[in-house]
Structure 1
Amino acid sequence: MAENNTADKVKDGIANIGPTLRSYLRILKLARKPSRKEFMTIAKVAALGILAIGVMGFVFYVLMDIVPEYFIPVRT
């Protein structure tokens, strides 16, 4: 019974390949090359996002390195 269900899923997946590829091709036909101004805007936004994530990671690293020293007693 489970084998038949798996076979049906595989057949359905194979049957859906054609329509899926057609939809991908339709999207590629509609796509166009961005202008230099659009590209630079997208690049700046991406760079700012990467920079923001890096700064947040650095701040968390520094906090996790410095702050525990004030709350955890040092055993000697």
Structure 2
Amino acid sequence: MDVKYDLASYVRVLKMASTPSWNEFSQIAKVAGAGIFLIGLMGFVIFAVMTVLPGGI
């Protein structure tokens, strides 16, 4: 493991990184929120189906 090479590559990545603009941040937040909502909705639908099916059979 070459520590000097690893540190140099970490520093290079940190120099390239920048703070996102407000528009970029809000777009990422909307997409992440939509993904969380869809996963939760799918879980709720599966729960509702599994709850209703055993009672109907």
TM-score, with structure 2 as normaliser = 0.83
Q: 1:62 aligns with which of 33, 45, 48?
A: 48
SS of aligned partner of 1:32:
coil
Root-mean-square deviation over aligned CA pairs: 1.4
Q: 2:15 aligns with which of 26, 29, 40?
A: 29
How far apart in 2 are the matches of 1:18 and 1:70? 66
1:1-76 matches, within 5 Å, as 15-71=1-57
What runs of 5+ residues in structure 1 fail to find an aligned partner? 1-14, 72-76
SS of aligned partner of 1:67:
helix
Matched positions, count: 57
What runs of 5+ residues in structure 2 fail to find an aligned partner? none
What amino acid does structure 1 have at the position aligned with 2:49?
L
TM-score, with structure 1 as normaliser = 0.65
Write out per-residue CA displacement over residues 2-51 of structure 1, whole angstroms, 9 at most, x where no aligned residue: xxxxxxxxxxxxx2444333222211110111110000000000000011
Runs of 4+ aligned residues of structure 1 deviating over 6 Å after TM superposition are none
How far apart in 2 are the matches of 1:30 and 1:40? 21
